[in-house]
Amino acid sequence: MIDRQSLNHIDRIDPLFVEGYLSFNGWEKNGEIPNRKASIWQRKIDRDFFSVILPISQELRDFSARICELIEVLEIVEKRSASEIILSLIDQNIIAQEMQREILTFRFSFLYQSNSIYREIPTQQIGGILTSLQTLFYAVGQYKSYEKLNDKVKALNSSQYLQESNTASNSKLTNDIKKQSTLSLIETFKGSFGVKVATCKLRNQQLNLLEQEDPLTEIISETFFNLIEKSNCKDKKELMIELQKNHKKCASSYRNFLNNLIRTESDIYINWGSMNSRKGGRTSLEYSEALATFEFITKMEMENPESYEIVGELIAANKDKKTLIIEHKDSDKKITAKISFDIDTLQENELTIGKLYLAQITEVLSRNSATGEEKMEYEITNMQIAKIR
What does residue 16 show for φ and ψ, rounded to 5 degrees?
-65, -35
The residue among 230, 227, 238, 233 whose CA lies nearest residue 137 is 227
Q: Are 120 and 147 in contact (CB under 8 A)?
A: no
Q: What is the pLDDT of residue 161?
A: 46
Q: What is the pLDDT of residue 205?
A: 45
pTM of the model: 0.77
Q: What percent of the chain has pLDDT over 70?
A: 85
Which residue(s) pair with 382 in the sheet? 360
The residue among 5, 13, 128 whose CA lies nearest residue 65 is 13
Domain extent listing, the chain: 4-90, 96-303, 307-385
Longest dimension (CA), the chain: 90
Q: What is the pLDDT of residue 311?
A: 92
Which residue(s) pair with 336 in the sheet? 325
pLDDT confidence of 116, banded at 50, 70, 90?
A: very low
- Write out pLDDT tens, residues 313-348: 999 998 888 999 999 988 888 999 999 888 777 666
Separation between Cα atoms, residue 382 and residue 3, nearest integer Å: 67
**Amino acid, res. 92:** Q
Separation between Cα atoms, residue 194 and residue 107, nearest integer Å: 4
Question: According to CATH, what is the number of the domain 307-385?
Answer: 2.40.50.140
What does residue 373 show for φ and ψ, rounded to 5 degrees?
-70, 135
The residue among 260, 259, 263, 279 whose CA lies nearest residue 271 is 279
Asked if pLDDT for residue 171 goes beyond 80, the answer is no
Separation between Cα atoms, residue 361 and residue 150, nearest integer Å: 24
What does residue 326 show for φ and ψ, rounded to 5 degrees?
-125, 135
